[in-house]
């Protein structure tokens, strides 16, 4: 038996998978991302050894009392900096080996989103290790941050190169006023359901965790040795700056009343600010529907809104998860699902303010899955930055497509559809990295092995 043929029929080893892949974050929460550079492998391994007791596993991930945790992920250059051998480094897939900045063009990270404008050092090879910590409040977060600081004690060859605080408001609203993190796929064999009714049939564990069968009935290529690869996953980390004032001005210029502004924003997203889906609430927001877990995600497109009269074909959520829209094509939507988690950073722009105040604000996203090219990169390039798959030509995602003032957005309506023009780029990539989040045994293996 080769390393790649392990146990496709076995249960998911939750105790060996990092918690952040499965756990729901507390609501509200505070979070900190810390990025580090390692200039000496033995210092790096020493730091990892110290961090290990604080890295939470996904065992009993559904238990809400486990509400504070830390996770650790590594870039390809980070694995190298920790002394992982060349044969192992070469066994990782191309997208991860190259890193996000090298693949900027295909991700639409051009113009002001291109890596040369990213926050340093995320535009260089300096990010080796990323620690993220989540907790319900600052007091509960602090011991995790203290453990992170303590892990660096006396180790001169490991240093923090970047850190960012993020949070969720008690209202769960993000910068554009919308609730997010509603659509979450379920994972087969994970021990409990995470998704809401309507989230679709559970997906094979191998879509999100390495070492298990995926939707293609195969094991995704496992980095070698298997101890390193098994129970790991890839993470696309993105810091996305949101131009809130520009978004508000665009709505105002293209709507005749505040009610129409809200409708237009909802058409772009596919949900109302409360989270109520347009397919079920086409005319106005419905917080009661948004609060009903049996209904908030329980809808389809082709059967319920084929013409896009409720939710436009080009709306953000219809692109990101077309559900049954592509049922009569050769595209299998389930091959392109992601676990995504958005966290808010930067101050909120005061309500009603239409001028930018110069503050950096936006969302830090993590997208997790076992195949960066088939999942994250496919969605970003084919579904976000192209409209062909829904008959919209080159039209892009109205929210974060790389539109640069030339974008259009089609809103089907009777008697004639409306086409919005000159969409600017509302979302600018400020930083990004491809990371590998190893299983807990793999972290121990990295920390304890000799070079």
Footprint of ligand HEM on this chain (CB under 6 A)? 174, 176, 178, 180-183, 240, 242, 269, 271, 316-317, 320-321, 338, 340, 363, 365, 379-380, 384, 399-400, 427
- In the bound state with ligand HEM, the residue whose beta carbon lies nearer, of 68 and 269, is 269
Q: How far is the CB of 129 from ligand HEM (least distance, A)?
A: 24
Q: Which residue has the tokens 């978004």?
A: 247
Angle separating helix axes 41-51 and 138-151, nearest 10 degrees: 150
- In the bound state with ligand HEM, the residue whose beta carbon lies nearer, of 61 and 400, is 400
Q: How far is the CB of 57 from ligand HEM (least distance, A)?
A: 25
Q: How far is the CB of 73 from ligand HEM (least distance, A)?
A: 18
- In the bound state with ligand HEM, the residue whose beta carbon lies nearer, of 410 and 429, is 429
Q: How far is the CB of 365 from ligand HEM (least distance, A)?
A: 6
Q: How far is the CB of 58 from ligand HEM (least distance, A)?
A: 21
Q: How far is the CB of 402 from ligand HEM (least distance, A)?
A: 11
Cα–Cα dist 130/134, whole Å: 13
Q: How far is the CB of 231 from ligand HEM (least distance, A)?
A: 23
Q: How far is the CB of 324 from ligand HEM (least distance, A)?
A: 12
What 3 state SS string does the chain have? CCHHHCCCCCCCCHHHCEHHHCCCCCCCCEEEEEEEEECCHHHHHHHHHHHHHHECECCCCCCCCCCCEEEEEECHHHHHHCCCCHHHHHCCCHHHHHCCHHHHHHHCCCHHHCHHHCCCCCCCCCCCEEEEEEECCHHHHHHHHHHHHHHCCCCCCEEEEEEEEEECCCCCECCCCCECCCCCCCECCCCCCCCCCCCCCCECHHHCCCCCECCCCCECCCCCCHHHHCCCEEEEEEEEEECHHHHHHHHHHCCCCHHHHHHHHHHHHCECCCCCECCCCCCCCCHHHHCCCCCCCCCCCHHHHCCCCCCCCCCHHHHHCCCCCCCCCCCCHHHHCCEEEEEEECCCCCCCCCCCCCCCCEEEEEEEECCCHHHHHHHHHHHHCCCHHHCCCCCCCCCCCCCCCCEEEEECCCCCCEEEEEECCCEEEEEEEEEEECCHHHHHHHHHCCC
- In the bound state with ligand HEM, the residue whose beta carbon lies nearer, of 23 and 380, is 380
Q: How far is the CB of 70 from ligand HEM (least distance, A)?
A: 24
- In the bound state with ligand HEM, the residue whose beta carbon lies nearer, of 199 and 408, is 199
Residues 6+ apart with CB under 8 A from 27: 168, 172
Residue 167 β-bridge partners: 30, 344
As a residue count, the chain comes to 451
Sign, Cα dihedral of 307, 341, 30, 244: negative
Q: How far is the CB of 351 from ligand HEM (least distance, A)?
A: 17
Torsion of CA 348, 352, 356, 358, to 10 degrees: -30
Report the residue closest to ligand HEM, judged by CB. Answer: 183
Q: How far is the CB of 152 from ligand HEM (least distance, A)?
A: 32
Q: How far is the CB of 445 from ligand HEM (least distance, A)?
A: 31
Cα–Cα dist 441/451, whole Å: 18
- In the bound state with ligand HEM, the residue whose beta carbon lies nearer, of 142 and 262, is 262
Count of CB atoms situated within 10 Å of the CB of 6 = 16
């Amino acid at each position: 038996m080769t390393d790649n043929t392990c146990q496709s029929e076995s249960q998911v080893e939750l105790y060996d998978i990092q918690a952040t892949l499965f756990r729901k974050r507390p609501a509200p929460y505070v979070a900190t991302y810390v990025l580090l550079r390692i200039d000496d492998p033995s210092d790096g391994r020493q730091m990892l050894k110290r961090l290990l007791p604080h890295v939470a596993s996904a065992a009993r991930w559904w238990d809400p009392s486990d509400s504070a945790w830390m996770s650790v992920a590594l870039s390809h250059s980070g694995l190298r900096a920790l002394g992982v051998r060349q044969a192992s480094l070469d066994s990782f897939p191309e997208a991860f080996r190259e890193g996000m900045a090298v693949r900027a063009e295909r991700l639409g990270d051009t113009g002001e989103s291109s890596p040369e404008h990213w926050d340093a050092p995320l535009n260089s090879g300096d990010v080796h290790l990323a620690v993220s910590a989540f907790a319900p409040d600052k007091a509960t977060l602090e011991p995790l941050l203290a453990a992170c600081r303590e892990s660096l004690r006396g180790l001169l060859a490991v240093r923090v190169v970047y850190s960012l605080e993020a949070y969720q408001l008690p209202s769960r609203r993000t910068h554009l006023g919308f609730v997010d993190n509603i659509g979450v796929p379920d994972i087969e064999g994970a021990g409990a359901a995470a998704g809401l009714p309507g989230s679709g049939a559970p997906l094979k564990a191998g879509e999100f965790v390495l070492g298990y069968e995926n939707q293609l009935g195969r094991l995704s290529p496992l980095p070698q040795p298997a101890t390193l690869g098994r129970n790991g996953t890839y993470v696309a980390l993105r810091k996305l700056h949101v131009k809130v004032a520009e978004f508000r001005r665009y709505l105002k210029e293209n709507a005749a009343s505040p009610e129409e502004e809200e409708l237009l924003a909802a058409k772009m997203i596919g949900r109302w600010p409360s989270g109520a889906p347009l397919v079920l609430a086409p005319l106005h927001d419905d917080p009661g529907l948004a609060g009903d877990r049996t209904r908030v995600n329980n809808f389809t497109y082709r059967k319920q809104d084929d013409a896009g009269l409720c939710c436009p074909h080009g709306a953000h959520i219809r692109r990101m998860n077309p559900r049954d829209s592509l049922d009569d094509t050769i595209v299998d939507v389930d091959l392109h699902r992601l676990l995504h988690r958005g966290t808010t950073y930067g101050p909120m722009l005061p309500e009603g303010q239409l001028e930018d105040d110069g503050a950096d604000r936006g969302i830090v996203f993590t997208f997790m899955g076992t195949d960066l090219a088939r999942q994250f990169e496919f969605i970003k390039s084919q579904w976000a930055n192209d409209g062909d798959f829904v008959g919209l030509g080159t039209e892009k995602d109205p929210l974060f497509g790389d539109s640069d003032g030339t974008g259009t957005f089609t809103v089907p309506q009777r008697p004639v559809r409306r086409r919005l023009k000159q969409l600017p780029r509302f979302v600018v990539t400020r930083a990004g990295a491809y990371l590998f989040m190893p299983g807990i045994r793999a972290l121990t293996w990295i920390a304890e092995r000799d070079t």
